[in-house]
Structure 1
Amino acid sequence: MKIGLLAGTLTLILGLQGCSKTDTNTQVRHEDAASASAESSVAQQPSAEQAYLTLVDDYFKDYLKLEPLYATFVGVNDYNDQFGGDLTEAYLKARHELNQHYFDQVRKIDYRQLPEALQLSYDMFSYDRDMALIDETYPARFMPMNQFYSTVITMIQLGSGESAQPFKTVTDYDNWESRVDGFIGWIALSQQRMNEGIASKVVLPRVLVERIIPQLEAQLVATPTESIFYSPIKAFPEDFSEQDKQTLTSQYQKMIGERLLPALAQLRDYFKNTYLAEARATDGWSGLPNGKAWYQQLANSHTTTKMPVDEIHQIGLGEVSRIRSEMDKVRQQVGFQGDLKAFFASLSSEPQYFFADRQGLIDGYMQLKDKINRVLPKYFNAMPKADYVVKPVESFREQSAAGASYESPAVDGSRPGVFYINTFNLKAQPKWGMTTLSLHEAAPGHHFQIAIKQELTGVPEFQRFSGYTAFEEGWALYSEYLGIEMGLFSDPYQYFGKLSDEMLRAMRLVVDTGLHAKGWSREQAIQYMKDNSPMAESDIIAEVERYMAIPGQALSYKVGQLKILALRARAEAALGDKFDIKAFHDEILTSGSLPLAVMEKKIDRWIAKTQA
């Protein structure tokens, strides 16, 4: 505006030197109009806040188009008939262009002009785009599957009718059939990508391939009606006509029997007859081309830090030593005669520490849910509207799944969160480990953090659905620590369970970095965990193979917890009597999942405001 007025004034002065009174009046009117036009143009320009909100909204819409499976999981059903092309060249090009475009655009926005809440959001958004651009420089597409997580497992869960894919209308059923056709194309393309991986020496460890084969074989049933993909046909909505039921039944039998099962059988045969022989003998990422640099990037991505993996390894060794000392104090407290290793053996084998049947384990967790819920209001203002249920892990994946996990509730509130318990091996689910596991996976751990995030209002959509492992797992591990203050560990055996789970997260720092940066073998990693915890051997094996499949993810738990504890200690020291635990938890939980550096910035601002 100032530039426009100055230009008009100079023109007016120059014009007055050689014009009549009439000309002068005309000139003034022209200059006034020019000035008004300049002011109007400036006024029409969007503010930094408007520009940012429009940008991230456009990004989220574009991302959902690119990732239709993700769209379904966040409750956007516009693309339920599409599978996506996450292994095609066109997809890889579109993903790069999406991230590069929005990374370039967000940097054009004046950060200083944004309100404080959107500055945090801006930090998240630009961080995400930057990390995505770095991630795509590594050839993850050559290993599109593992035994712990894969598109195949996701599609099985969706196809069961008990996950995010809706089966409420005839159109829903038709959408799923179309999506399955896309999945069948993905199955074929995944083998092409794995063949490229074989040529590039970017392949899975042999033992992980051996775990994938039975997972696929479990889907190869004799008839379509036995398939888990037939489940929606067995649960038609009541308002479907008989004609609709007959038509869909026929379509699904053909789809499953003539297209899907043959494709899955062919994928099983590929792993069994081609890929297994080409799998690598090494267990860690360092056995891959450029593997050490790739692993450091994975560690950076999962922890949202730039901590060198060697430093993380040393932190892990220190934490293992500290927790072992605490465990030995419990051994002495309960009067156990024998050393810590013998105490581990006792807790891992004596019948009184385990349930006799699967339903007893599930019922035990439901009772624990009620106990924890009664004390939560003393520590939280912000609590999720959505509830959660306790369910056993599905039979098709129970042999290789983790001991427990959490699935977020439906965004529209139609489905609660799910706290999954693996009931396959009851000796891997000791009674003394139940309190800490429930705190971590359910309330106030993953259920609080994820459900509250989804229920946020007044924040960009991407922020409600973005996730950072260090924040989410760090919060869940912090929730275990919080159980001490809640009075939930008065039983020394339950407190030992808390220490045992914390030991698992400390060992992960050592074992994950050991496998991928220090040349440890699978057997060496298993032995380290057996020496330092009472975990069942089946659980230890599943854990180690999980680290082999998704490097760096296991680092995020302890790194995130230590950061939250450090920020809480900083706030308590700075605020003294002004420190409010509920307010602190509100600050952590009510902006969504954050990179650790962004979370630290938010807490420091909160401390300064509270002091003022």
Structure 2
Amino acid sequence: MNSSKPRKSPLAIALLALTVLAGCNDDTTIVEQPKQTEKPSEQLRTVMSQYQSAMATLDSTTFGQVNDQMAGSRLAVDRQYLDKLMQIERSALSDEDKIYYDTFLFDRNIAIRGAAYPNTRFGNFAIPITHFYNYIDWNASHAGSTQDTPEDYQKHIQVIREYTAWIDNLYSQYSLAIVDEARLPTILTQRLIDSTKDALAVGTDNYGLLKRGLNDMLAHADQYSDETLAEYTKVVDDAELATTRLVDFLQSDYLTGARGEGKVTDTNIGWGALPNGQAWYQWQLDRNSTTGKPATELHQLGEDLVADAKAEMERVAQLVIDKRGTSIKAKWRNDSTVEERTFVLADAEGNINLNEFFDYLNSEQFFYGRDGRTIANTPYAALCAAASSLTACEAALVDYNIFKTDANDVVAKYFKPIKTDYTIVPVPANREKYDGVASYGGNEFNLNTHPDYSLQKWNVSTLLLHEAAPGHHFQNAYATEYPPADKPEYIQGVWYTAYAEGWALYTEWLGLEMGIYGELNSDGKPTFVNATGMCKSDLDYATFQGGVYTDAEECNALQYFGSLNEAQLRNMRLAVDTGIHAKGWSIKQAQDYMNQNSALGDGDIESESFRYAAYVGQAVSYKSGYLVIKEMLAKAQAKLGNQFDWATFHDQLLKYGDQPMEVVETSIENWLKAQQ
């Protein structure tokens, strides 16, 4: 490969970046005014369509340009199209079109507000890149991908060149961050470096991810001319050199002088400690929660909800005590050793020790791959080859797929049916340490099955409800299968984390209503009997999940505890995200807070705490969106009474796809008026 070129100083790179405008010119953006002869609905669609065209013309590169100059050009377009939108008579639109109007209005306002701050390049999910959203990994995977035909490889040369330009631009942006004193803290920089190296390496080749396509061509060299092979080799060499230079820079000049010593006890590592950081952080909160609540209010709300949640956790603990007694022996991991420990769940007066109960639920028997079982030869063996622990992966996929069938049967009573199916797949071994416990995308429920970074067995029900049906998968499939008749293309491409994650958290709660954990009592709490979920009365509980439950009642109670614990996680996220980014908390403070208030496992707490530090403001979206949906549900049930229908209510929430939560409120209220 090519040898490294002399490095320029960060200041020189920064000055160069300030003087170069890559492919954009404000003067070339021409915005036509809406034709006054068009109906308001047509004007709205024209504005949205023209906006998309203007943005596509502004930046047509494969990976996108992120710098202050491009941000300034985007700001100009946003302002022009906000002006055009305001010329449309909103009152003349249908309720459906008002949803689209208000969504477009929210987007332009939040974008314009973000662009008003210094360092506008930070008003983008992609900058600064972190281990949690590692675009270096994702873009390198695309640049290095194999192609189907020689013609495709010839076209792909330009994609690789654009990747190299993107990497060079990223180098410039991180160099500017040194000058601006707006760089990542040491602890997140090191995690970004480590995750990037882990992701790009293939075998012994540190940047093998970039060479998969080239290696495929060399394996079929008779199909290509010498000139084509030489050109492809050159662009891949350039891409590798640029990526190597960026990683070397991150672990030298960029890392030197970054905030903190790289320890979990480092304080002031959040966005609030950056120049103009508190204003930037509030903007991130507003963009993610879409509710407009200030950081102080969200923090206090989180702490209040955390305190309230413990009473129901004690009810589950009491049921376990009734069945097993106050003292339980189980294997416990203490650092690197595993030993038998006695868990005392209540004192002589019957006062429950929740922290001891939390520890019991993190004993070895509750983790796949740590419970002493060997699971093999299941239908999921081929899928699990990508994971680090074959037995843990196969055991988990067996349980999750059983509940998948149960959940689909129950969901059918609350929604219109969907046709699109999903697959449960393990997170690849090289991403297990960095990806968190689960995610959803492309009709795949991605499950982390690493024994140290996965969720406990009692989380199967709530995690599948959240990620798959009726959570993220169902939400995405429903909007595709039941779209409104004339949904603008712009609306089809929007995404709001408060809507998506608020919906998924709502579906966790909906599991109670659906009887997943048993019939409900007069207070709306599950009784743990006659459940519709995975804990069937006729199961052999001596063997099910390794014999961790005495019977169906305890199984339902602990699966319900999983729902409580996940709800508590979202409560804690309000406090922890704002704690790190508005109050100067360290990673250790965040971890201690989660450990004291939940039964999350150590690996889960570790990955979650780093996630909140890296993925700024996103963690508050879950509870923020959920609370709005629950409020709208209460209004609908109160107003419609016996006429309330779950499928109809859910249809109104889902068919339009993602919306800001303030738009969801308007949508449901207009829908309720129309029911009279």
Q: Indicate which of 393, 415, 418 corresponds to 2:427.
A: 393
Compared CA separation, residues 103 and 526, structure 1 to 2 (3 A): same
Q: Give the AA of the match of 1:534.
A: A
Q: How does 1:523-534 map to 2 (within 5 A)?
A: 523-534=588-599
Measured after TM superposition, the shift of residue 159 of structure 1 is: 4.8
1: distance between equivalents of 2:74 and 2:36? 32
- Counterpart residue number, 1:578: 643
**Aligned partners of 1:191 and 1:505: how far apart in 2?**
35
Give the aligned partner of residue 147 of structure 1.
131
| Equivalent position SS for 1:419 | strand
Name the SS of the counterpart of 1:334 in structure 2: helix
Aligned residues: 539
Q: CA deviation at 1:498?
A: 0.6
Match runs of 1:274-353 below 5 Å:
274-281=253-260, 282-335=268-321, 337=326, 338=345, 339-353=353-367
Question: Structure 2 length as normaliser, TM-score?
Answer: 0.75
In structure 2, the CA distance between the partners of 1:431 and 1:601, relative to structure 1 (3 Å rule), is same
How much does 1:284 deviate? Answer: 1.8
**SS of the residue aligned with 1:203?**
coil
Task: Kindly indicate whether residue 595 of structure 2 is the aligned counterpart of residue 560 of structure 1.
Answer: no
1:369 pairs with one of 401, 404, 419? 404
Instruction: Determine helix, strand or coil for the equivalent of 2:440.
Output: strand
State the one-letter code of the partner of 2:294.
Answer: P
C-alpha change, 1:308 and 1:92, in structure 2 (3 Å) is closer
Please state how far the C-alpha of 1:398 moved relative to its aligned partner: 2.1
* Partner of residue 368, structure 2: 354
The 1:192/1:55 distance shift into structure 2, 3 A limit, reads same
Q: Tell me the alpha carbon deviations over residues 330-384 of structure 1, each in whole angstroms, 9 at most, x when there is no partner.
A: 011122621211111111123244345223223332222222112221110163x
The SS at the match of 2:255 is helix
Q: Distance in 2 between matches of 1:222 and 1:353?
A: 29
Q: Tell me whether 348-357 or 278-287 shows the greater mean CA deviation.
A: 348-357
Among 389, 407, 418, the residue aligned to 2:444: 418
Instruction: Kindly indicate whether residue 91 of structure 2 is the aligned counterpart of residue 99 of structure 1.
Output: no
Is the CA contact 1:428–1:535 (under 8 Å) kept in the aligned structure 2? no
Cα gap change, 1:159/1:184 in structure 2, threshold over 3 Å: closer, same or farther?
closer
Per the alignment, residue 660 of structure 2 pairs with 595
Asked if the contact 1:286/1:517 (under 8 Å) is kept, the reply is: yes
Moved over 6 A (4+): 222-226, 233-236, 245-250
How far apart, CA to CA, are the structure 1 residues paired with 2:110 and 2:296? 21
- Mark the CA change 1:306 to 1:280 in structure 2 (over 3 Å): closer, same or farther: same
Structure-2 separation of matches of 1:246 and 1:406: 43
The whole-number CA distance in structure 1 between the counterparts of 2:272 and 2:448 is: 31
8 A Cα contact 2:201 2:207, kept in partner: no
- 1:544 is the counterpart of 2:612: no
Contact preservation (8 Å) 1:380, 1:585: yes
Q: 1:509 aligns with which of 540, 557, 574?
A: 574
Q: 1:234 deviation in Å? A: 7.7
Comparing 51-60 with 472-481, greater Cα deviation is found at 51-60
- Residue 241 of structure 2 is matched in structure 1 by 262
Map of 1:87-236 to 2, 5 A cutoff? 87=67, 89=69, 91-138=70-117, 139=119, 141=121, 143-159=127-143, 167-218=147-198, 219-221=200-202, 227-231=208-212
Conserved? CA contact 2:143–2:163, under 8 Å: no
Distance change (3 Å), C-alpha of 1:398 and 1:136: farther
Structure 2 residue 45 is matched with structure 1 residue 53: yes
1:444 aligns with 2:470: yes
- Does 2:435 correspond to 1:404? no
- 1:19 maps to none
Q: Can you list the C-alpha shifts for 1:276-298, whole angstroms capped at 9, x where unaligned?
A: 11211222222111211211111
Q: Distance in 1 between matches of 2:228 and 2:575?
A: 52
Task: Give SS of 2:412's match.
Answer: helix
**TM-score normalised per structure 1:** 0.82
Residue 62 of structure 1 aligns to which amino acid in structure 2?
Answer: A
Q: How far off its partner does 1:550 sit?
A: 2.1
Residue 94 of structure 1 deviates from its aligned partner by: 2.7
> CA offsets per residue over residues 181-220 of structure 1, 9 Å max, x none?
1121121221222222112211111110110111222224
SS at match of 1:277: coil
* Structure (1 or 2) with the larger CA radius of gyration: 1
1:250 to 1:492, Cα distance in 2 relative to 1, 3 A? farther
The alignment partner of 1:278 has SS state of coil
Counterpart residue type for residue 303 of structure 1 = S
Cα 1:156–1:283 shift into 2, 3 Å: same
- Cα distance per residue 1:143-188 (max 9 Å; x no partner): 5311111321331453575xxxx94554443443322211211212
User: Deviation per CA, 1:109-153, whole angstroms, max 9, x where unpaired?
Assistant: 111222221111001001101111111233253653111113213
Q: Match for 1:202: what amino acid?
A: A
Question: In the superposition, relative to structure 1, how do residues 108 and 495 fare at CA in structure 2: closer, same or farther (>3 Å)?
Answer: same
CA–CA distance in structure 1, aligned partners of residues 296 and 86 of structure 2: 33
Distance 1:376 1:154 in 2: 34
Give the aligned residue type for 1:181: R
Distance between the aligned counterparts of 1:443 and 1:210, measured in 2?
Answer: 36
Q: 1:247 to 1:431 in 2, by over 3 A?
A: farther
Q: Name whichever structure is richer in helix by fraction.
A: 1
Secondary structure at 1:499 match in 2: helix
Structure 2 letter corresponding to 1:340: L
Gaps of 5+ in 1: 1-42, 69-78, 410-416
User: Can you list the C-alpha shifts for 1:222-272, whole angstroms capped at 9, x where unaligned?
Assistant: 777982344457889xxx99625999777655543x122222221111111
Q: CA RMSD in A?
A: 2.6
Q: Deviations over 1:47-99 (max 9, x none)?
A: 1111111111222233344455xxxxxxxxxx7xx33322372x223312221
Work out the CA distance in 1 between the residues paired with 2:59 and 2:510.
Answer: 37
Q: Which residue, out of 503, 506, 511, partners 1:483? A: 511
The C-alpha deviation readout for 1:4-23, integer Å capped at 9, x for no partner, is xxxxxxxxxxxxxxxxxxxx
Match of 1:405, SS state, is: strand
Distance 1:201 1:350, change over 3 A: same
Q: Quote the Cα distance in structure 2 between the aligned partners of 1:264 and 1:313.
A: 39
**% of aligned pairs identical?**
35
Change (3 A) 1:599 1:382: farther
Q: 1:453 to 1:278 in 2, by over 3 A?
A: farther
The yes-or-no answer on 1:431 pairing with 2:433 is no
Contiguous gaps of at least 5 residues in structure 2 = 1-34, 261-267, 327-344, 346-352, 370-390, 519-555
Q: Is the 8 A contact 2:210 2:239 kept in 1?
A: no
Deviation track 1:505-525 (CA, whole Å, cap 9, x = no partner) reads: 000011111111222222111
Given the alignment of the two structures, is residue 467 of structure 1 paired with residue 447 of structure 2, yes or no? no
Partner Cα distance (2:195, 2:489) in 1: 35
Give the whole-Å Cα distance in 2 for the aligned partners of 1:249 and 1:494.
Answer: 56
Letter in 1 for 2:635: R
